[in-house]
Structures are given as structure tokens and as C-alpha cells.
Structure 1
Amino acid sequence: MSEQKAQETREVLGARLRGFRKDAGFGSGRAFAAATGWQESKVSRIENGKQNASEDDIRLWCQKTGHEADLSDLIATVRHIDELWLEWRRVLAAGTENRQKQSLPLYRKTKVFRIWDPATVWGTIQTAEYAQDVFQQVSEFHETPADTDAAVAKRLERQSYLYKGDRVFSVLLGEQALYSNHGGPEVMRGQLDRLMAVMALPRLSLGIVPRSAHLALWIGHAFSMFDDQLVMVETYSAEMSVTQPREIELYRKAFELHRRSAVYGQAARNLILAAIRHFDGMASDGERST
């Protein structure tokens, strides 16, 4: 999925550059290569999305084709390709604590948070025990350093932003998130109690999309939206940063459609209470079996 997205973006960029070349009177890649001092194969690879163009490549391309006015937009596209996907193995090479630390500056400058997670409780409202189980799974899955305690501490540090400043947090969870079992019944009961508590925060709204809700949009994947500037999407293999305004607008629209299916207030509390009863039953069954 990550390579497909990057490849599509490279191909769109290459097609645009090919148009610039032809409009400037360079009828072939060979002629343009001669004008730039490049190999003809480099021109072909860039135009066909087979090679990433560097920022210097873009500057020279715009200069030779008379498209200096498009330079800033094209540079933004190149940077978008470079940062579009960060492989988890590289991000987590020094452990999960470092990745959690990297989030803190983003939290400091963000004013409006929009969070959608259909299957897992959002990290910033996780309990330490729940987060510990999640981080252990991440370390084992990616075979990266197990610095779970340090990572949990950094994740809990993010929670301070729930209580200070004028930030607004709009959080949507799928009902499945209330039942996805991280850590066992006792940990889950603690996490569900935590959800009940954060619902009282004045600048946080917590909506739950019931399993049987009539959906305005298919469930899709989890994402976190920071103001209208950045959307973060996590997959098993990589983390995607969405910065293009057109794509950010699609995620904003997706969030609003999911919100139509959500319940709030007492209806949301009732769903959480039902999940608590479920894990109470699991704990009782476990005690009887022992």
C-alpha cells in the first residue's frame, strides 16, 4: 500500500513535468537531456515515475522550461513523496519511546484534534496498562528494542495537553474499540473506566459509533487529524503523513460522515457500561475456571 501511494504520486508528478518539457519545445527526452546535462535515461525515469526527482532536479526543470512560477508547488510535491511513508522499522529502530517523543511538538502546536479509530482506544486517552500491552505488541511484531516503560511514560506525557490551553479534542471510536482486548479483563475494565472519566473533560467530545449504526461512510482505517494541516495514518508496515490540502479535506469529510453515525452523552456511556459488564463476566468466568 505504501509503495503504491508513493508510485502514484511520482507518476502524476512525472506526467506534469513531461507536459512542461513538451510545452517548452523539447520534443524528446534526448533534447531535454542535452539541455540539462543529464542522461536521457534519467529524464525518462523521472517522467515515468520510476525515479524520485530531487529538489535540485525540479529547480533545473522549471528553469529550462520556463515554469519558475510552479516551482514552490512542485517542491512541495517532492517533499510530500519523501515524507509520505516512514517505514516503521526505521521509525522504531531506536525503540518506541523515540516515536512517542516525536509527537510532543506536534501536540504543543495543534489546536484542534480530530481522531477516528474504529478498533482501538486512542493513545492519548489510554491507561498505562493498556498502552503497555499495545507497545509490547509493536516491539514484538517489528522486532525492535523493547523500551515499553519509557514509551508508556512519553505517551502519558501527551495526556497533559488534555488539561491545558484551549485545545479541542473530537474523538470518535468504533464500538469494537470497547471490546478489542488489550491486556485482559482487568486492564480493559480500567481502560473503560478511563473513557467514562474523560467524557467529563470540557474540551473533549467522545463519540461511539455503534456496531449496528447506519453508516454514512464505510468504516475504513484509523487516522488522526491535526488542525487542517496534517493527517497521520498508521498501517502495519508504515506511517503515512498526509499534507496535501485536497487529501486533508477528504479526511475532514470522512470524519464528519463518521460523526453522523456516532452517539454521545448517555447513549455513549451505556455502550461503555455494556462493555464493562462484558469484561466483568470474563473475569468472573476466569476466576471460576481456576
Structure 2
Amino acid sequence: MTTDYQQAREALGVRLRELRMSARDGRLTGARLALLLGWSQPKISKLENGKQTATPEDLQAWADATGHPDAYGELLARLKGFESHIRSWRRRLAAGHQPVQQAIAAEYERSAVVHGFESVTVPGILQTADYARSVFTRYAELQRSPRDTEDAVRARLRRQELLYDGTKRFNILIGETALRALICPPAVLAAQLDRLAGLVGLDTVALGIIPLTASLKIPPTGGFWIHDDRLVMVETWHAELWIDDADPIALYLRTWRTLRESAVHGADAHRLIADARRTVLPL
């Protein structure tokens, strides 16, 4: 959890405490407010001390119970302000993977230039249906989210139509590990590598692969995606970060450019893909 996020959550907690202390019918104790709301007293404490993220329903109930129903709009705006940056997978996947894919696709449609990096998996924008199906199935098991695999696959594949839009540019770096990681059956990975080979040379896609033997100026970490100069998306195990501050965006772009110095393109990238395919599933 980032410092900015935690500070914003604590600031919301301070505001909730202010509303409780200035309740219309007189100061409310935490125990009394918990009784009115039918909550446990620890929940009141956690919300006020920034230890738990409130839901919109929590905020509405708090505003009503303290006699400040007009404060709900302000509280909701605070919540949306910091949740727009860190989006819990638990909440985002509550309705399955398809809505998440549709939200991501909307950002791709808005973007003219996309810079992306993935170290150990083939990026979603380049995945075959079978590869995507394996990924969605495994993540649904991990996150215990609704199984809407086929809808999610269709949504992901529709996004790939943007690869053929001449007004867009995709600058994508992949670690060689992604060419060999068996997160799917070997035959599926072989077909995925054929797909990648076919994208080398596409005029809207600059596909670079960082060889395992490359000299690296910085150690690569998790993947990230930069949309123009307005947004960076970073996936972690617990959440998806949406970063729209200028300085961090500039840092991610510098990181991408530094990683690119270790990548190979064109014929050399094609050779790495072919070598990996022969290893995964010999012809």
C-alpha cells in the first residue's frame, strides 16, 4: 500500500471521527455509533484510524447515523479519489474478469501510444484465446472470483483489434522467460509463440524481447503499462495500481526506456521466439 494511499485513508478516517463527534443529537461514542449501525466497535475504530477501507454503503450509513446526510457526497468523493489509484482485485473481480477487461480496453482505446513491459507472461494484448483462457482460469482460482472465463477471453481478444489501428502505436517489451514459462500446456504455448512471431514487423507494434543473457542496467520487476503521458497501470497480487501523477509516470517511462536498451527487435527477436518454440514443442 502506498504512502499517499494510506495518508488519504487516514484523512478520511479523521473526517469520519469529526462527524461522529459533532453528531446532530450530541456527541456519539464509538460504542454508541456501532450500536446504531449494527456494526462491531472494532470496525468503527479501524475506519477512523485508516486501518480499513470504507465502502460507499459504509459512508452513507455513517453520514445518516451521525445526522449529517449531506456529508455523504464529500465522503464518497474522498473515497473515489484514493481508490482510483489502488483498485483491490477482490473488489474489481467481484463480478468476474470480463468487466475488468472492458475497463482496461477503454483505456487502450483512449491511448495513441502505449508502452508496456511484462517479464514472465505474454501481455494480454498479444495473447491467443487458449493462452488467455489458461491465465484467467488460474487467476480465478487464486482470487476465488466468479468464473466468467469465456466472456473474459472474448473481451480480451476484442481489445486486440486495436493492434491493427493505424493511428495507434504499441511499444512492448517482453522478458525471454515469458517465451518459456509453462503457465499453459506446451501446445498452447507453442501456438502463442507462433502468434508472437507473426506480430514481429507489424507497423503498429514494436516488439522487443529481453534475452536471458542480456546485460541489464536495472533489474526488471513486475509488468507495467504506460498510456500516453497520462496513466500507468501496475498489477500486484492484491490490487491494480492506476497512477496518474506526472513524476511517477515520467519515472516509469524512463524505466521502460532503460529496459529497452537490453532488448532485441526484428530478426533477433524472431530468433529468440523460434528457439523457445523448438524447446517447448519440437516440430
Q: 1:275 to 1:237 in 2, by over 3 A?
A: same
**How far does the alpha carbon of each residue in 1:82-135 deviate from its partner, in whole angstroms, 9 at most, with x for none?**
312111111011111111111222121100000000111010110000000000
Name the SS for the 1:189 alignment partner. helix
Deviation at 1:165, TM superposition (A): 3.8
CA distance in 1, matches of 2:4, 2:260: 27
Asked if residue 192 in structure 1 is aligned to residue 196 in structure 2, the reply is no
Q: Residue in 2 aligned with 1:239?
A: 240
Contact 1:88 1:237 in 2 (8 A): yes
Q: Which aligned pairs between 1:223-234 and structure 2 lie closer than 5 A?
A: 223-234=224-235
State the percentage of identical aligned residues. Answer: 37
Contact 2:85 2:242 in 1 (8 A): yes
Residues matched between the structures, number: 244
Contact 1:172 1:207 in 2 (8 A): yes
Contact 1:223 1:232 in 2 (8 A): yes
Deviation at 1:151, TM superposition (A): 0.4
The amino acid that maps onto 1:227 is D
CA distance in 1, matches of 2:194, 2:179: 11
Contact 1:80 1:243 in 2 (8 A): no
**How far does the alpha carbon of each residue in 1:180-238 deviate from its partner, in whole angstroms, 9 at most, with x for none?**
11321100100000000111311100001111211121112100111110000111111
Q: Residue in 1 aligned with 2:90?
A: 89
Q: Which aligned pairs between 1:14-163 and structure 2 lie closer than 5 A?
A: 80-163=81-164
CA distance in 2, matches of 1:5, 1:208: 34
Name the SS for the 2:240 alignment partner. strand
Q: Residue in 1 aligned with 2:59?
A: none
CA distance in 2, matches of 1:3, 1:255: 21
CA RMSD in angstroms, aligned pairs only: 3.5
The amino acid that maps onto 2:141 is E
Asked if residue 179 in structure 1 is aligned to residue 188 in structure 2, the reply is no
Q: 1:129 to 1:246 in 2, by over 3 A?
A: same
Name the SS for the 1:160 alignment partner. helix
- Name the one with the larger helix percent: 1
Q: 1:144 to 1:170 in 2, by over 3 A?
A: same
Uncovered stretches (5+) of structure 1, i.e. residues with no partner: 15-29, 40-47, 53-75, 285-290
Q: Residue in 2 aligned with 1:59?
A: none
Name the SS for the 1:224 alignment partner. strand
Contact 2:129 2:157 in 1 (8 A): yes
- Which moved further from structure 2: 100-109 or 169-178? 100-109
Q: 1:211 to 1:5 in 2, by over 3 A?
A: farther
Q: Residue in 1 aligned with 2:253?
A: 252
Name the SS for the 1:205 alignment partner. strand
CA distance in 2, matches of 1:51, 1:189: 45
Asked if residue 7 in structure 1 is aligned to residue 6 in structure 2, the reply is yes
Q: 1:213 to 1:51 in 2, by over 3 A?
A: same
Q: 1:207 to 1:77 in 2, by over 3 A?
A: farther
CA distance in 1, matches of 2:95, 2:225: 23
CA distance in 2, matches of 1:257, 1:80: 31
Contact 1:232 1:241 in 2 (8 A): yes
Uncovered stretches (5+) of structure 2, i.e. residues with no partner: 13-17, 28-48, 54-76
Contact 1:172 1:206 in 2 (8 A): yes
Deviation at 1:179, TM superposition (A): 0.9
Could you list the structure 1 runs, at least 4 aligned residues long, displaced by more than 6 angstroms after superposition.
48-52
Contact 1:118 1:219 in 2 (8 A): yes
CA distance in 2, matches of 1:147, 1:196: 29
Q: 1:202 to 1:10 in 2, by over 3 A?
A: same
Q: 1:166 to 1:7 in 2, by over 3 A?
A: same
CA distance in 1, matches of 2:119, 2:79: 32
